[in-house]
C-alpha cells in the first residue's frame, strides 16, 4: 500500500516536472520569438529613421541649390558697377524676346496667364504709375520672368528735361523694383513718345544721357529700333 502510494507520487512528480519543462521551453521559445520580432522591428525603425534622414538631407541639399541658383539669378540681373551686361557678339541662333512696357497694371495678370499657358518667359519693363499693382512685379519675377526699368512717372517732358531729372526718375523706379524683388535690375528701356514733334527732342537728350553719364556702363538699355 505504501509502495503504491510512493509510485503514484513519483508519477505525479514526473508529470509535474514534464509540465514545468514544457512551460519553461515554451517560455524560452516565446522569449526568443519576441526577441527576434523586436530585433526586426528595431531594424525596420532604424531603416525608417535612416530613410527620413536621407530625405531631410536631400531636401536640405535641394533648398541649398535653389538658394544658390536664386542668388546667382539675382547677381546676373542686378546692377553691378564695373560688370558688363550682355554681349555685342553676333549669333546665328534664332531668338525671340518678348517684352512688355508700362506695367504693372490691370492687364499684367492676364499677360502672365497667357505666358504660363505657353510656357514662355518675358521681360517686363516697369513704371511707377499704378502703385496698387506693384505686387505683380514680384509675382512676375517669381514666375521666372525678367524685370527691367522703364520709367517712374513716364512723362516725357519731365523725364528728359535734364540728365538729373532722368537719373532721379530712374532711381525712383529702381527703388520700386528693389522693394518688390530685393535688387535693382540692370536692364532699362528708355521711355519714348510717339508724338512726332517730341521724338527728335527726346532722341537728342537720350544721346546726351548715354554720352555723358558713366552710369550707363552698369546698365543695359533696350529700345525699339
Tell me the per-residue pLDDT of 126-174, one tens digit each, with 9 for 90 and over: 999 999 999 999 999 999 999 999 999 988 888 888 778 888 998 999 9
Distance CA 57, CA 183 (A): 30
Grid-cell match 512685379, residue found: 137
Tell me the average pLDDT across 41-56.
82
Give the pLDDT band (50/70/90) at residue 217. very low
pTM listed for this prediction: 0.68
Higher-confidence residue of 33 and 103: namely 103
- The answer to whether 150 touches 128, Cβ cutoff 8 Å, is no
- The answer to whether 70 touches 92, Cβ cutoff 8 Å, is no
Neighbouring residues of 122: CB distance < 8 A, sequence distance ≥ 6 = 97, 98, 99, 100, 111, 115, 145, 146
Flag whether pLDDT at 195 surpasses 50.
no
| Tens digits of residue pLDDT in 102-119 | 999 999 999 999 999 999
Give the lowest-confidence range in 38-52, 80-94, 104-118, 199-213.
Answer: 199-213
Torsion angles phi and psi, residue 78, rounded to 5: -100, 165
Higher-confidence residue of 85 and 175: namely 175
Neighbouring residues of 49: CB distance < 8 A, sequence distance ≥ 6 = none
Amino acid at each position: 500500500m505504501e509502495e503504491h502510494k510512493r509510485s503514484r507520487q513519483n508519477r505525479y512528480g514526473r508529470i509535474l516536472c514534464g509540465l514545468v519543462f514544457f512551460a519553461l521551453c515554451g517560455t524560452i521559445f516565446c522569449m526568443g520569438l519576441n526577441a527576434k520580432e523586436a530585433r526586426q522591428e528595431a531594424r525596420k525603425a532604424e531603416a525608417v529613421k535612416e530613410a527620413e534622414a536621407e530625405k531631410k538631407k536631400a531636401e536640405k541639399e535641394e533648398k541649398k541649390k535653389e538658394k544658390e541658383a536664386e542668388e546667382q539669378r539675382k547677381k546676373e540681373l542686378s546692377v553691378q558697377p564695373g560688370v558688363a551686361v550682355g554681349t555685342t557678339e553676333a549669333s546665328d541662333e534664332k531668338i525671340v524676346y518678348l517684352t512688355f512696357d508700362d506695367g504693372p497694371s490691370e492687364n499684367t495678370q492676364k499677360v502672365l496667364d497667357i505666358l504660363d499657358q505657353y510656357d514662355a518667359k518675358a521681360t517686363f519693363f516697369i513704371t511707377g504709375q499704378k502703385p496698387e499693382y506693384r505686387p505683380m512685379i514680384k509675382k512676375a519675377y517669381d514666375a521666372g520672368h525678367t524685370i527691367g526699368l522703364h520709367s517712374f512717372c513716364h512723362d516725357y517732358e519731365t523725364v528728359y528735361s535734364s540728365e538729373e531729372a532722368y537719373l532721379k526718375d530712374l532711381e525712383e523706379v529702381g527703388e520700386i523694383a528693389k522693394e518688390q524683388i530685393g535688387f535693382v535690375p540692370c536692364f532699362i528701356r528708355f521711355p519714348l513718345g510717339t508724338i512726332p514733334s517730341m521724338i527728335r527732342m527726346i532722341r537728342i537728350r537720350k544721346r546726351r544721357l548715354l554720352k555723358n553719364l558713366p552710369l550707363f556702363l552698369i546698365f543695359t538699355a533696350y529700345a525699339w529700333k
